[in-house]
Structure 1
Amino acid sequence: MCQIKKEFFIQNATEVAPKILGMKICRITKNGEFKTGIIVETEAYMQDDPACHAFNGITKRTAPMFEEGGISYVYLIYGIHYCLNIVTGIKGSGQAVLIRAIDLQKSSFEASGPGKLCKYLDIKKDQNGILFSKENNLWLEKGIEVPDNRIGSSHRVGISKGIDYNWRFFIKNNLYVSKLK
């Protein structure tokens, strides 16, 4: 399959987040194992959004978010779980799309939720700031077509600021999408 080119990510996170639903995320782990899944849930974060890590500007942690779209932004939450984001937009715009869940299609391992997804794909801090590409063993490819009427949106999960933004996108009726309480 053909990998998604860097130029695709030079648009706002709110545009990229629903467009990557149905795409395949591919990873070759350090031990050479190929892993893949269909992206079924995402969240967009823009710099003017108080829930966005880039909201307060550039720091050592958020520096990748201010690079040109197409690179990874990986961070640790609760001191134990990694989260994988794709930086979007033009250089300096401070935005990214969190990949919340993938469908492994017949695998027994569950990759619903950003922490489980990163565990499955063996994503850690050393993947932070790398270009999504085959050369870096982490890339996106075309996957399945998701018609607009199968894409849902809602408020994002697990945040206390910016809760009015409906920037969580998901494939409706997919088993691996987070259930809202």
Structure 2
Amino acid sequence: MNQYGPFKLYTPLPGTPAGEMANRIKAQFICTPDKQDWYELQKSFARNTLKVVYAENGVITQASDDASTLWPVDASVAEIPTEQIPKGFALPLAGADWQYNGQRVVPRVYTPEEQRAMAERRKQALMAEAESVLAPLERAVRLGMATNGEKSRLNAWEIYSVKLSRVDTNNAEWPTKPE
């Protein structure tokens, strides 16, 4: 199967197929380090295969069965036989959860920095959710309008909020969310 890249922007030379196209239409052009033009390379891909665009770290950023729908600038492209597409890999891509390891598509392996950043985003989202639950409960207590159930719920969410604020995102152990 085909594998090309990384593709970079370039200006086609006059007299080449890409140069002729550049004279007719206003378009950007990308090529491989050995000057293979992307528009020309698209013709070499089989119709019944998956084409994946992947970054230098292997993370797949685009995928399609039609190479003409892809734009692999600053990335590479690999062609994957249909029978080698892993279960769970679906089009359109819903994130960056897959990578190409040079031979096949595999679930993405996150770096420790990426894992910490994901944990930090999750922590911030959970803290925002907790604050949105706490605000009306605190208001009900302050105004003397809280029921016993609301007071109990406020206590549970306050405990959860404190535990959540103490989560170490380098080694996250998440507290259980109150009912």
* Bin for the TM-score computed over the shorter chain: under 0.3
TM-score (norm 1): 0.22
Q: Select the structure that is richer in helix.
A: 2
Please give the TM-score of this superposition, normalised by the length of structure 2. 0.22
Structure with greater Cα Rg: 2
Which one has a larger percent strand, Structure 1 or Structure 2? 1
